[in-house]
Amino acid sequence: MKIEQKDALNHKQRKKRNEKKGNFFKKRNKSAFTGIRLFSNLPIGMKYLIIFLFSVVLFLAATTIVFVQLSTAKKDVQSIIHDSDIANSITEMALLVEQQHAAISSYAIVGNDRHIESYDRMAEKMDDIFNKLDDVFIGSEEEFTYGAIKMNVETINSLFHDRLIPKKRNNESIVATQIEIDTMKDALMNLISELIKSFSVEQQKSINNVNASMDRSISYLIGINIVSIVLGLITLMSISRIMSNHLKQVVNATIQIANGDLTREPLPYDGKDEIGLLSNAVNVLQQNMKEIIKKVKDASQAVTSSSELLMHASREVKEGSRQMVVTMDELASGAEAQANSASDLSEKMNVFVGSVQRSQADGEAVVKSSQQVLQLTKQGSALMQESVRQMSEIDHMVSESVEKVLGLDQKSEQISHLVDVVKDIADQTNLLALNAAIEAARAGEHGR
């Protein structure tokens, strides 16, 4: 039972941790998406400026790191110079000790006071060196060795001035004093050698530090420059590739619209940079072209319907004219038969025939008018076909098609007017034919 409770508790804890991780990644993805969206809304020039500033920041970081390394190397070099000065002073001290020992030996052999003066001059130089080195060794690891050196130098000075010089002047034996001075001198040289060795080690450490700092500076400089170049190139190539892909989409969309394909989906790019503005303009152009073509299609259908009605009316006028001619032929035949049977009415019939001939002439005029109407109808049909053909090129000739449609409306009105005139002429012809028939009937009855 305890094991099951423990497993359930562990399961709840894992679930909480997973939920926390999921919320963290969601927040991070949301922040990344917001950053990408803000970057896409920037103008193209600003994007390249950001890339340039990013490269500058990396270069400044590399310069700062190298400057820090060089500053460290400079301190190490200054330490080397300082240690070299101290080593030179200690070396000069060793040389002065040797020269003093030579002066002591010369005085012990010759007994000339000029060796004492030489020794004192070198002692003054030794004091100057001690004054210079006191601040260096106080509180350092070599302070004990340095103190022993000063003590040995003072002991040698005391042995030389207080014991060897008086004994030499009194012609006493100075062998023991010389041996003691030689012993102190050897001990002093050992101490100085130890001190020089210690500073040589420190100096070598400083040199190694300088070399290491220079190597690190070169490595950091090369590494950061490589990282800067790689990151700059990756960022530049990524942005250029994204911009190139969006520009290719815009170009392909404009080519499809130019070829008459308005069924494609709108461009999905929603940034506020120059590419976003261009994509939005292409989408608006596509939508406006769809609306214009729809309006032109509706106008074309209306013109086609009007043309069909006009052609139907023209056919009816043609049929009426044909029937009118047949009727006039029958009336002329009847009138001629009545004239042959009624010779006494020849003069009246001649007059009547003249009237009939005039009616026939009017009928022929009507036929000609009908033919003209038919020709105009054919012309109107040809114009309709030309209009339909021009509709296929409506993306380049919208305004011209509208003007032609208006011209067709005017032609239709003229044709309608002509049809009305033909109908009036037909009505008058029918009336004349009816009157002629009545007169012929009367003449026939009178002849009988």
pLDDT in tens, 228-280: 788 878 877 877 787 777 777 778 878 877 787 777 777 776 666 677 777 77
pLDDT at 157: 92
Q: Please state the rounded mean pLDDT for residues 67-85.
A: 75
pLDDT at 155: 92
Give the count of alpha carbons within 13 A of 429, CB side only.
28
pLDDT at 2: 46
pLDDT at 367: 58
Q: Please state the rounded mean pLDDT for residues 44-68.
A: 76
Calculate ∠ Cα 218-223-227, nearest 5°: 150
**Residues 440, 130: Cα–Cα separation, whole Å:** 170
| Stronger pLDDT, 107 or 44, i.e. the higher one | 107
pLDDT in tens, 126-153: 999 888 888 877 777 788 888 889 899 9
Q: Please state the rounded mean pLDDT for residues 354-368.
A: 67
CA distances from 327 to 49, 357, 445 (A): 95, 13, 21
pLDDT at 1: 47
Indicate the CATH number for domain 278-447. 1.20.1270.250
Model confidence at 406: pLDDT above 50: yes
pLDDT at 32: 47
pLDDT at 25: 46
Confidence tier at 90 by pLDDT (50, 70, 90): confident
SS3 call for 290: helix
pTM recorded for the entire structure? 0.40
pLDDT at 335: 52
Residue with tokens 């034919």: 433
Which amino acid type is present at position 421? Answer: V
Residue with tokens 């009507």: 366
Model confidence at 171: pLDDT above 60: yes
Model confidence at 111: pLDDT above 80: yes
pLDDT at 414: 76
Q: Provide the mean pLDDT of the chain.
A: 74
**Residues 14, 80: Cα–Cα separation, whole Å:** 59
- Residue among 168, 146, 148 nearest 159 (CA): 168
pLDDT in tens, 323-350: 655 665 665 565 566 556 546 655 665 7
pLDDT at 4: 53
pLDDT at 200: 78
Query: Are the beta carbons of 250 and 278 closer than 8 angstroms?
Result: yes
Model confidence at 289: pLDDT above 80: no
For the chain, the structural domain boundaries read 46-238, 278-447
Residue 378 in tokens: 């054919």
User: In terms of C-beta distances under 8 Å and separation of at least 24 residues, what long-range contacts does 383-390 make, across chains too?
Assistant: 383/408, 383/411, 384/303, 384/304, 384/307, 384/408, 387/300, 387/303, 388/300, 388/304
SS3 call for 111: coil
Confidence tier at 36 by pLDDT (50, 70, 90): low
pLDDT at 95: 92
- Residue among 91, 115, 111, 114 nearest 102 (CA): 115
pLDDT at 99: 92
Q: How many angstroms from the chain centroid is the CA of residue 348?
A: 103
Instruction: Report the range out of 20-24, 118-122, 383-387, 404-408 with the highest average pLDDT.
Output: 118-122
